[in-house]
Every structure is written in structure tokens, then in C-alpha cells.
Structure 1
Amino acid sequence: MTVQTRLDLADRQEAADLAAFLGRLLRFDRAAAVRLQAVPGADGGGVLAVFGRLPLGGSAVLAVRTVRLAGLDGSADLTVSAGQLLESVDEPGAGLGLPAPVTGPAWAGLLPPRSGWRPLGRPPVERVVGEVLAAVAEFKRRTAEVPEHHRTRQAVDAIADEIWSRPLAAAEGLPLRAAHAAHAIGFLRPGAELAAHRAGAWLRLDAPAGSVALRTAAAPGAGLGLSPLR
């Protein structure tokens, strides 16, 4: 495996989109790490997939952003600091520096499978956003009703897990947690075309801006296909 010190992105918009994605991840966890996987493309370019973890409630969801590369000498697979990666993004020069690898967190060792995805449907983004906003309002109301001296992290997480574990009415087979994560990371944009998939114990919600994936139980396999999302 060849690891470059800098990657040239396809254009400035790819750099801006990646910076925005990393910035949102860091709002959830200032010490966040991300796993990077880059593969060359048949056209001489390549694709970089950036995996991050969203700690929502007592569970977590993986958020994935892919960006097109102008070129790639060889494949790369490493885990780095999200903060250092954000600092290395060169938007005017459409480039990206690769920080030194860090010891990866446990989630980085088990990613969604590359193949075997079965479609679950194409939920309308307006309906999905409506369900998420209603659930957020319920979460805020119910947590506010808990007496302050009982409003522990455990109590708040229990409310969150109960709400986000409910099925998403707009997409059979997906929990609200997937839609909440996609909304929180900025993937549920007006007019976006969404697609839901399942592969074994893994569930995935795709949008033009990125994907979110979560496991309903222990699942084998690693690596998400590195196809551009737009």
C-alpha cells in the first residue's frame, strides 16, 4: 500500500464539501478520528471515502463522505485525526494533506460491507425531515420534563434511544436513528434523492451529499464501496 502525503481533489467544491463534513463531525467530538480509504479510478483519478462516527444517544452511526480525486498514485487506508485533516484541507488549491496516522478507535476496524446491499426503498426527503424534526421536538420536550436533579446523561440517553430506535415511517426497515444522523451531519438537503439499503445486519441511507450506516447486530465484513456519491 502506498500512502501519499497529499491528495489532489477533483475541484475546489470537493475540498469545500469535505471541509464542511469534517467541521460537522468535530462539533460532536472535538477529538474525533476518521478512517480514510482511497482507491484509484479507471479514468486516472480516484475516490476518497472518509468515515466518521456520530455519537448520538447511547448508540452511534457511521457517516460517510466520498470525494473525487484528480489523481492517485496508489491505494491508501489509514485512520487520522479529524481536526488535523480539516486543518490540512486546501480549498483554494483543491488539495488535502494526509496527517500522520493515529491508533484507530474500535469502530474504525469494522466498516459496512462492500457488496450485498438490498434496496429498501426511496423515501421522500420532505417526509424524512418531517419525522426527524417531530422526534427532535419530542426529545426536547421530554428531557425538559425530567427534574433537573434526575436529568443525568444516562436518563437523557435512555430517552434518545427510545425515540431514535423507532421505525422510520417513510422507509420501511430503517430506524429513525439513521435519518436523525443524516440530518445532523447535513445530508438531508431540500430536494435530495434518498435511497435506503440493507446488507445483513447493516442498514444504510444514501443521499447525494453522503451516506449514514449502522448495525442492528454484530455483522461481519469491512469496507464500503468507494463509488462517488455525486
Structure 2
Amino acid sequence: MTVLHLADEGEAADLAAFLSRLLHYDRGAAVRLQAAGTALAVFGRPPSFEVLAIRAVRLAKPYENGLDVTLDVTVSAGELLESVDESAATAAVPEAVTGPPWAGVLPPRGGWRPVPGLPAPDALRAMIGAGIAEFRSRTQELPEEGRTRNELDRIGREIWSRTVGDTQLPVRAVHAAQSVGFLRATGELALLSSGAWLRLRTPYGSIAVRRAGLGALDVSVR
């Protein structure tokens, strides 16, 4: 069994918290793990947001059992969470699973350029609060017979597909960052682009999203 030695207890706790949040939205969630040397990237897709959430994890050393170059595998988020030992700062990599379609199409590794126009963190958090309040208000105004799943989804898509400031970043990407614990009170945020992708980078993880209308170019199938 491959054992990951995380940098410290804090990294283990943050990894466990990230996995728990993904499982909150999908009890059968899978994550793709990619690592080289002492850097591990954990990719997940909270289903209601249509984005990729990426948690970077520092490792104390590479792997046991001879895996000393790279690691690239899709596994059950639940099984990985069960294997995390926070006090020992370790996690055992579960058996591979057949990955969902998103796991085969990841953002590019490089070529990221800064994008101007991202509002301050406080403004972003206020934007999410306003969006949640608007959703509740509009759905509560619906007649009982009109409160269908399709209508609720339509209102949600309308609100969360709006863009942030003068950027092309959809509000749902910021909402996802808050929901998985990336949009905290401290730390600088940055918006980056590479090909068809936008990435909201925080000190705690990143949210990546495909920009609409750019086709299937500039993706990494790995």
C-alpha cells in the first residue's frame, strides 16, 4: 500500500477537511491525485458548482514501496478520508477506481497569466451572501406548484452564472471556493487564465473553470 507522508498535522487536517466538504456534496465523490516529489495535488468536483476544486498538499517525503517519481491515480474520496491519520500526518492511497469523465480533463499545468479586475475578498464574500439571499427570496416567492426542481435549478443557474466584476469568472466559482473552505478571511486572491481555463487561486486551494464558448481547445487530458 502506498503511504503518503504529509508535511505536518495541519496539512493532514486540511486535507481531511477538504475531502469532507467534497463528500458533503457527493457521498460517492472521487478525487484524482497527482504528485511528484513532495507536492501533491488533489482534484475534486463538487457537483452543484460545475468547477474543479484543487487542494495542494505538502508532503514530508515521497512515497513508500518504490513510488519515488510520480503518482497519478483516481480514488474514492471517502476511502482516502478514512485513511488520513492526522496525528501521524499520513494517508494511505486507496485502490484506484474508474474515474468520472471530469477526471480525464484537467487544467493545463503551465501557461497561467494574471487576469485583472478581481474584486477584493470582502466584496467577493458579500457577492456570495447577496446571491444566496436572492435565491432564497426568489424561490420563496414561487407558488407551491411552481417550486419544481427545474425552476429552482433555473434560478440558481441564472444567479451563479453571472460574472464577477469585469472578468469572465462565474460567481459559482467564488461560491465553490467558499463552500470548500478556500475563501477564508486571510490571504491574497488571484485570478489567472490559461487557454480556455480560468483559475481562482487562494492560499488554501484553487478553483478552476472552463470559460464558455471556447470549445474544447487548450485542455490537458492526462
Are positions 1:66 and 2:62 aligned together?
no
Structure 1: distance between partners of 2:2 and 2:44: 21
Are positions 1:6 and 2:3 aligned together?
yes
Letter in 2 for 1:69: L
Match for residue 82 of structure 2?
Answer: 87
Deviation at 1:191, TM superposition (A): 2.6
Structure 1: distance between partners of 2:187 and 2:217: 29
Instruction: Give the counterpart of 2:73 among 75, 78, 84.
Output: 78
Could you list the per-position Cα deviations for residues 36-61 of structure 1 after superposition, in whole angstroms to 9, with x for gaps in the alignment? Answer: 00111xxxxx11100000122xx511
Could you list the per-position Cα deviations for residues 153-205 of structure 1 after superposition, in whole angstroms to 9, with x for gaps in the alignment? Answer: 22111111111111112x62312111111111111111321000111211110
Structure 1 unmatched ranges of 5 or more: 41-45, 225-230
> Normalising by structure 1, what TM-score?
0.88
Structure 2: distance between partners of 1:223 and 1:196: 23
Letter in 2 for 1:105: P
SS of residue matched to 1:90? coil
Greater mean alpha carbon deviation, residues 136-145 or residues 121-130: 121-130
Are positions 1:142 and 2:138 aligned together?
yes
SS of residue matched to 2:60? strand
Structure 2: distance between partners of 1:77 and 1:14: 20
Match for residue 203 of structure 1?
Answer: 198
Match for residue 220 of structure 1?
Answer: 218
Match for residue 179 of structure 1?
Answer: 174
Match for residue 159 of structure 1?
Answer: 155
Are positions 1:55 and 2:47 aligned together?
yes
SS of residue matched to 1:214? strand
Greater mean alpha carbon deviation, residues 120-129 or residues 73-82: 120-129
Deviation at 1:5, TM superposition (A): 1.3
Match for residue 129 of structure 1?
Answer: 125
Instruction: Give the counterpart of 1:16 among 3, 13, 17.
Output: 13
Match for residue 43 of structure 1?
Answer: none
Structure 1: distance between partners of 2:3 and 2:220: 25
Structure 1: distance between partners of 2:34 and 2:132: 33
Identical-pair percentage: 56
Deviation at 1:123, TM superposition (A): 3.4
Structure 2: distance between partners of 1:149 and 1:78: 46
Deviation at 1:151, TM superposition (A): 2.0
Are positions 1:26 and 2:26 aligned together?
no
The RMSD of aligned alpha carbons is 1.6
Contact 2:104–2:221 at 8 Å: present in 1 too? Answer: no
Contact 1:202–1:219 at 8 Å: present in 2 too? Answer: no
Contact 1:38–1:75 at 8 Å: present in 2 too? Answer: yes
SS of residue matched to 1:17? helix
